[in-house]
Structure 1
Amino acid sequence: MPTRLPKTADDILKLGDPRLYLTCEPVEEADWELLVDWIAQLREAMQDVRRRYGFGRGIAAPQLGILKRLIYIEIEEPLVLIKPTVVTLSEERFTLWDDCMSFPNLLVEVERHRSITLSYLNLEGQQCETTFQDDRAELVQHEFDHLEGILCTMRARDARSFRWR
């Protein structure tokens, strides 16, 4: 069996790639044997973005062309969200400059919910529910949007909500 090449920032789909605008399919039972490899690929690509651009807390599977409902987050420790669904969104919102690994030098001013509760499966296949607040809520909303084929450019506050990093 050939050795898999590690994923880098160059493997992340860039703005304009039509796959970024597709709605992802659920992770199915047959996909579970691929999860370890997919998660390694997401981690490798995100770490390369961190080295090159100095940011990166999470990445969604479609950014590597894996059109499955899978998110990898790494802040203090890794968190894998398999088949996430939104349970609740707060009414309170806030505005921030968002960045994305699919266009690493562009910032987009967006409005996000102050908190979000997601239901998802963990790596053991257990159903979990977690509420994320503030900067983590923003991150989870950004990554969840990728699963829906939505980029933060599509959530820009107005036509002047773009700037170079």
Structure 2
Amino acid sequence: MAIREILEAPDPRLKTVSTPVETFDAELKVLVDDMFETMYAANGIGLAAIQVGVPSRVLVIDLQPEDEDAEEEDCGDEGCGHNHKPLKKEPRIFINPEILDPAEELGTYQEGCLSVPDIFADVDRPKTCRVRWQDLEGNKHEEAMDGLLAICIQHEMDHLNGILFIDHLSRLKRNMALKKLEKARKAA
């Protein structure tokens, strides 16, 4: 496994529409393993293959809920001083995902993105959706999703279609976000 570079806006590759996966092989498994390692290293909860420069319809998600069965431990966050339950890994792989039956009712969620670091904005998306996808062996699955999982899958699927979450914002807010990102890059 390897940590890959995450493309950042305004990299034009992020606007690429990803192509369907047709071959379910060892190379695909390496990509998925690398995507998880990259996502965890960046403290993310979702990552699309295009974000690591691979224009394939592959995404990984791990909402990493707190492990309710575990003992609390010092979070290690300097200055926090709080104890937290450790996060539980629940990795999910979605290959060639499709959204079916998105709800008409929208919900607003503050989103961020590993390709648009340190920028957060409210985005309206369908509150629920049904998703069909394939796993690493090519088997088909279908599931109704809601809450954070529904938001995350829609956000990551946008990446597969060349859309960033800031593309859902007004032109003014999107330009402000990009300027803030550029300013942060120059300061670093």
Q: TM bucket by the smaller chain? A: 0.7 to 0.9
Runs of 4 or more above 6 Å deviation: 161-164
Is 61-70 or 95-104 further displaced after alignment? 95-104
Deviations 1:127-158 (A, max 9, x none): 10011102111100000000000000101156
* Structure 1 residue 160 displacement after superposition: 4.1
| CA 115–157 in structure 1, closer or farther in 2 if over 3 Å, else same | farther
Secondary structure at the aligned position of 1:110 is classed as: strand
Q: Does 1:70 align with 2:58?
A: yes
More strand by share: 1
Q: Does 1:7 align with 2:3?
A: yes
Specify which of 36, 44, 54 is matched with residue 43 of structure 1: 36
* Structure 1 residue 123 displacement after superposition: 1.8
Tell me which structure has the larger Cα radius of gyration. 2
Q: Does 1:150 align with 2:163?
A: yes
Corresponding residue for 1:23?
17
Does the 8 Å CA contact 1:93/1:112 hold for their aligned counterparts? yes
Report the TM-score, using the length of structure 1 for normalisation.
Answer: 0.85
Corresponding residue for 1:53?
none
Q: Does 1:110 align with 2:123?
A: yes
Specify which of 23, 26, 42 is matched with residue 33 of structure 1: 26
Show structure 1 runs of 5+ residues with no match: 51-55
Number of residues paired by the alignment? 153
Q: Does 1:127 align with 2:121?
A: no
Secondary structure at the aligned position of 1:159 is classed as: helix
Q: CA RMSD in A?
A: 2.0
